[in-house]
């Protein structure tokens, strides 16, 4: 990693009104370097990436690529200079083939604007061979697992001759095994001299795949290190502070209460939905945290959606507090004291154009109205308490949710469901995009709910999370249950093996 940097950003600053999202941030990226950007939720990581893609124009500072100062705030200019971005939410055309997606929007033509398909195919084949990406060009994107879709995005970026790839939490929706595949691709890109910026909240990933790290805190660069020179604890302390770093370490295993108070809250008997899952049997007790893990595509999300009433099921029964129920829609679930924090906060969870407060009270409208009149003061109290409990930043109830950082949006989503005080709370990947400090806070809240005798069901692909919070663990594979274990009786390695089907 010697030679002149591919990209140099100097003194970047960005303010939104009075809020300083980024201040005087400088960063350099060299060929073959994987640089991680680390910081708590709201630290300014995505803002920095968006400046480098041209999506937003910085208030101060400049960006130099290949020795030339470039005009900021122009996406086409950044792309032309070889800066591409792999987004967390895919922007591929799902119904089209891999080949078509790679060339989408800029088909090589033969005379008169006719598509030169054979040439496209040759180019794409050469590209995926060079970067050792294992893709079937004729596959339909929608049929591919998430990690392959990420690889299509990478191939697309490379076909545009990208020299710098920006990745904002690329593994947020990937399962354990898929992350290994992505890392393999990253290493090949590195050997080919591509410079990579990698944002993640998962420290293990940073230590595994990155060479250097830029630490952001409150919009400022507070450290710039070689990964080889630092420890996890040093990194944690730098971005969340000493006190929280100690907490984050301390939330490791604690005493378990498998089967909680001994009272079954939720029983699922032989539940099935054609083509998705079948023969699912488990109970969740009052006062326990029951985790369901498995690979992406193991149909855990589909299962919990059916339990909540967001989707139907065709066979089996659901029993809540001893009574069989047939939830037909989410309102049925809510009426029975069931809360559901969905996986996709943008699609199912939040009204992005509405305020933090409006989102927080949305599911709890019954509690804040009197004969249909909104109780202003109650609403304000509720939202203030939720913002404090979950440490939502900035702590402004009237801020539009779209203007919060990713991790803070996730906290609002969880807060929204806590407002209905559910007896049974289903959470699907609740801490995706949440920083390590806030994760520890969410675990504390879940433990508090458990101590109050509520039944908590968490779907999670994050093995560390599962081992940290679960009393019992169920593993699913391809729509079937592999087994259920008391968390005290298994190791993480064993669970990983069950998940992978060994
Ligand atoms: N369009 C916007 N309008 C107002 N404020 C914004 C806007 N976009 C971002 N911000 C604010 O800028 C700050 C930095 O946000 P950014 O998204 O860069 O954080 P991040 O480090 O990516 O956090 P996360 O880990 O949660 O994704 C936050 O306080 C956020 O609320
Ligand atoms: Mg972000």
User: Per-domain residue ranges for the chain?
Assistant: 7-249, 251-337+424-433+454-502, 346-421
**Domain 7-249 shares a fold with domain 251-337+424-433+454-502:** yes
The sign one gets for the Cα dihedral 62, 64, 28, 42 is positive
CATH architecture group of domain 7-249:
3-Layer(aba) Sandwich (3.40)
User: What is the 8-class DSSP label of residue 334?
Assistant: H
What is d(CA 486, CA 375) in angstroms, rounded to the nearest whole number? 45
Cβ of 408 closer than 6 Å to ligand 1, yes or no, is yes
Asked whether 410 lines ligand 1 (CB < 6 A), one says no
Q: Interhelix angle for 176-191 vs 146-159, to 10°? A: 20
Helix (H) or strand (E) holding 453: none
**Helix, strand, coil % (nearest 5) of the chain?**
40, 25, 35
Topology (CATH) of 251-337+424-433+454-502: Rossmann fold (3.40.50)
Atom of ligand 1 nearest to the CA of 219: 14
C-alpha R_g of the chain: 24
Tally the residues of the chain. Answer: 502
Distance of alpha carbon 290 from alpha carbon 278, whole angstroms: 19
Residue nearest ligand 1's atom 16 by CA:
44
Q: How far is the CA of 21 from the centre of ligand 1 (A)?
A: 6
- Give yes or no for a contact between 48 and 11, defined as CB atoms under 8 angstroms apart: no
Contact 49, 88 (CB under 8 A): no
Q: Is the CB of 39 under 6 A from ligand 1?
A: yes
What pTM did the predictor assign?
0.82
**Tens digits of pLDDT across the chain (502 residues):** 556 899 999 999 999 998 999 999 999 999 999 999 999 999 999 999 999 999 999 999 999 999 999 999 999 999 999 999 987 667 789 999 999 999 887 755 555 556 678 888 999 999 999 888 889 999 999 888 878 888 899 899 888 889 999 999 888 777 777 788 889 999 999 999 999 999 999 888 999 999 999 999 999 999 999 999 999 889 988 887 766 666 655 545 455 677 888 899 999 999 999 999 999 999 999 999 999 998 877 899 999 999 999 899 999 999 999 999 988 888 888 888 899 998 877 777 889 999 999 999 887 766 656 666 667 788 888 899 999 988 899 999 999 999 999 889 999 999 998 888 899 999 999 998 888 888 888 898 899 899 999 999 999 988 889 999 999 999 999 899 999 999 988 898 899 888 887 6
Phi/psi at 95 (5° precision): -80, -10
> Is ligand 1 within 6 A of the CB of residue 394?
yes
The C-alpha atoms of residue 385 and residue 379 are separated, in whole angstroms, by 10
Q: Give the SS3 label for residue 451.
A: helix
Which atom of ligand 1 is nearest to 201's Cα? 25
């Amino acid at each position: 990693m010697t030679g002149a940097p591919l990209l140099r950003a100097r003194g970047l600053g960005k303010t939104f009104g009075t809020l300083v999202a980024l201040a005087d941030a400088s960063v350099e990226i060299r060929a073959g370097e994987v640089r991680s950007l680390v910081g708590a939720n709201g630290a300014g990581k995505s803002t920095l990436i968006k400046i480098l893609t041209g999506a937003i124009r910085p208030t101060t500072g400049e960006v130099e690529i290949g020795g030339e100062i470039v005009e900021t705030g122009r996406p086409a200019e950044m792309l032309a200079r070889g800066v591409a971005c792999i987004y967390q939410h895919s922007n591929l055309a799902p119904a089209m083939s891999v080949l078509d997606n790679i060339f989408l929007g800029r088909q090589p033509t033969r005379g008169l604007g006719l598509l030169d398909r054979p040439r496209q195919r040759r180019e794409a084949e050469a590209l995926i061979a060079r970067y050792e990406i294992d893709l079937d060009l004729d596959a339909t994107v929608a049929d591919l697992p998430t990690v392959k879709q990420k690889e299509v995005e990478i191939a697309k970026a490379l076909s545009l001759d990208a020299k710098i790839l920006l990745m904002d939490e690329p593994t947020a929706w990937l399962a354990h095994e898929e992350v290994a595949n992505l890392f393999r691709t990253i290493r090949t890109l590195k050997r080919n001299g591509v410079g990579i910026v990698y944002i993640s909240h998962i420290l293990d990933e940073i230590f595994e795949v990155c060479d250097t790290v830029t630490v952001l805190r409150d919009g400022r660069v507070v450290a710039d290190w070689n990964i080889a020179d630092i420890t996890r604890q040093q990194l944690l302390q730098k971005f969340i502070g000493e006190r929280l770093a100690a907490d984050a370490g301390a939330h490791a295993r604690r005493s378990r209460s498998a089967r909680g108070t001994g009272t079954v809250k939720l029983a699922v008997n032989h539940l099935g939905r054609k083509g998705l899952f079948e023969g699912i049997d488990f109970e969740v007790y009052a006062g326990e945290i029951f985790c369901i893990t498995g690979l992406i595509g193991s149909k855990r999300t589909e299962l919990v959606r059916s339990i909540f009433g967001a989707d139907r099921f065709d066979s089996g029964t659901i029993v809540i507090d001893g009574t069989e129920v047939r939830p037909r829609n989410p309102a049925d679930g809510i009426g029975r004291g069931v809360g559901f924090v969905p996986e996709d906060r943008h699609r199912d969870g939040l009204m992005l154009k509405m305020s933090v407060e409006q989102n927080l009270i949305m599911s709890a409208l019954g509690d804040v109205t009197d004969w249909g009149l909104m109780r202003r003061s109650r609403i304000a109290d509720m939202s203030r308490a939720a913002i404090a409990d979950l440490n939502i930043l900035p702590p402004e109830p009237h801020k539009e949710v779209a203007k919060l950082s990713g991790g803070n949006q996730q906290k609002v989503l969880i807060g929204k469901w806590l407002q209905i005080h559910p007896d049974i709370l289903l959470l699907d990947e609740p801490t995706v995009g949440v920083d390590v400090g806030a994760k520890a806070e969410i675990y504390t809240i879940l433990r508090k709910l458990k101590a109050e005798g509520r039944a908590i069901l968490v779907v999670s692909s994050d093995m560390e999370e599962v081992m940290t919070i679960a009393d019992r663990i169920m593993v699913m594979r391809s729509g079937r249950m592999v087994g259920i274990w008391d968390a005290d009786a298994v190791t993480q390695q064993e669970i990983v093996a069950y998940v992978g089907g060994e």
